Chains A and B, each alone.
Chain A
């Protein structure tokens, strides 16, 4: 019995150390973001500031148009998510309930595109967008990301799990395909759809390379791009810089706190790609 307790204690200690390792950067970020300037660059560092300087957040907010960047990020993430959900739901329906010619072939073609790393697509896509005159517009940030083979694949799997009899009985009752999809399929597939939504919002909110490449003017930047630019300007004002970093992490963190069950369930069910 004693051995067993010792065993458990060791496990908990290791797990706790792991949690400290994970949380340390966030705590350090928060602590720095609330420090007065004269307590930032000191050795040994102070974990708890002598007074909490919320002012740093104000300074960060003022020193760059973060309000604009914030709105850009919110707008782009929202549009991309809505767009992707619509295209995904429609396509997944076609792939499960409409038995059209060449369905499996088309699906295989789409699946094979998942093998291509997005870095390969960036250059030709940039050229395409230049030709369309979309560079430095919201269109460039939103439209290319409004469909994803991966999401179609996941939702199709889920849709297949919904009994076909439901579809036929709805048909007999005179329900149109479109109505059936939105009134019955979508509500039934809610867990999958919620997972897709959250992951899309988070991915879009955090995405960096694409907005970095397709935006030129400052007012089109999303938060990660703006933060990266701001980090070069901030110099040694680490407290202000950490305040800015906190502001971009907080919204996603709140979403995560509220909906973490769905995220964890979604990831363990499917292995969302990193």
Chain B
């Protein structure tokens, strides 16, 4: 092809270039076809379909026939106390899990970053929960939180604290889910933070040390500002993934939403409407609300992500 390219320069340039360009499009299409086919069918089309479905008020999902459209589904969702409960539970979970897991992970990342010998060993250990099946570990946690014979209450009793009804007390639901989420996600966040910390030039710390800055001062005026992009990335991605909480609740409460629905999350609400009551269009409307919430966070991320290149 390269040889032909030289010839092209001398002879009938426009015609041949056009031909190559035409071939290029066809060739590209062939390479892209398998991916595009799947992505279009299962990732692009459903976005629009989902929006459309949320307006269906009377339809047959198998034949695809729609008899009536309207805003009823949104009206239903936005006046459903269960949906507000789901929103509330999810927001409380996010507000608890995200900051706590970031503080814990950053703390461990800082410790690991301070010339520790077994650094890789610890990092690998912390990462284990992230790669294990959420269903399997949630079952293990359910057993650990067992009121009578669970290990958690056994430890509490050893410390002289009364047994706690972890799984039946609605007040314990969110704290337990937060704990599980910190446990599951901290290894991932530690790895990201470590990568961020390693990008900070050692010189800044040396200069600060010479100027007599305390460890805390060095942390707040060097580490935090220079780690902002990483901190930001981790915060947003963990906000987004926390909003999707479902598997843990489903398994921990054995297909239920927990005592007094205290574990009903947005995704659980969507799942129930869709898979338990077969109210597809109501589920779609709720899914769209979730989409909007997540979109807001994604857009914030993109906005600030672009800004970050400026300094």
Contacts and interface: CB of A to CB of B under 8 A. Distances in A.
Interface of A: 11-12, 14-15, 18-19, 21-26, 28-29, 32, 40-45, 86-88, 90-91, 93-94, 98-101, 103, 106, 109-110, 113, 115-117, 119-128, 130-131, 143-144, 146-147, 149, 152, 168, 171-172, 177, 202, 205-206, 208-209, 212-213, 223-225, 227-228, 231-232, 238, 241-242, 245, 248-249, 252-253, 256, 260, 263-264, 267-269, 271, 273-274
Nearest to B163: A43
Interface of B: 1-3, 21, 24-25, 27-29, 31-32, 34-39, 41-47, 49-50, 53, 61-62, 64, 108, 111-112, 114, 116, 118, 122-137, 139-144, 146, 148-149, 151, 154, 157-158, 183, 185-188, 191-192, 194-195, 233, 237-238, 240-241, 243-244, 246-247, 250-251, 254-255, 267, 270-271, 274-275, 280, 283-284, 287-288, 290-291, 294-295, 298
A22 B128 contact: yes
Contacts of A119: 244, 246, 267, 270, 287, 290
B111 A15 contact: yes
B39 A113 contact: yes
B149 A43 contact: yes
Candidate in B38, B135, B291 with the most chain A CB atoms within 10 angstroms? B135
B28 A94 contact: yes
Nearest to B64: A131
Nearest to A88: B35
Nearest to B195: A268
Contacts of A12: 116
A123 B280 contact: yes
Nearest to A129: B42
**Which secondary structure characterizes the binding site on chain B?**
helix
24 contacts: A15-B108, A19-B125, A22-B128, A22-B186, A43-B157, A87-B38, A91-B35, A100-B25, A113-B43, A119-B267, A123-B50, A123-B274, A124-B50, A147-B35, A171-B2, A205-B133, A208-B135, A213-B274, A213-B275, A224-B133, A232-B254, A245-B139, A253-B132, A274-B238
A40 B128 contact: no
B126 to A, nearest CB: 6
Contacts of B45: 124, 128
A101 B21 contact: yes
Nearest to B48: A124
Nearest to A100: B28
Contact of A274 (B108, B123, B144, B237): B237
Contact of B134 (A32, A171, A208): A208
Nearest to A226: B135
B237 A103 contact: no
A116 B144 contact: no
Nearest to A174: B1
B290 A45 contact: no
Contacts of A28: 140, 143-144, 151
A109 B39 CA distance: 11
B188 A267 contact: yes
B139 A209 contact: no
Given A94-B31, A121-B47, A274-B238, A267 B126 contact: no
Contact of A44 (B118, B158, B294): B158
B36 to A, nearest CB: 8
Given A22-B183, A252-B132, A124 B1 contact: no
A122 B131 CA distance: 23
A94 B283 CA distance: 37
A89 to B, nearest CB: 9
Contacts of A172: 2-3
Contacts of A231: 139, 142, 251, 254
A262 B69 CA distance: 50
A44 B154 contact: yes
Nearest to B137: A25
A43 B133 contact: no
Contacts of A202: 131
Contacts of B194: 268
B39 A110 contact: yes
Contact of B53 (A45, A124, A209, A227): A124
A245 B140 contact: yes
B144 A223 contact: no
B48 to A, nearest CB: 8
Contacts of A253: 128, 131-132
A209 B131 contact: no
Contacts of B250: 208, 228
A120 B188 contact: no
Given A32-B143, A94-B28, A274 B185 contact: yes
Contacts of B183: 21-22, 25
B287 A123 contact: yes
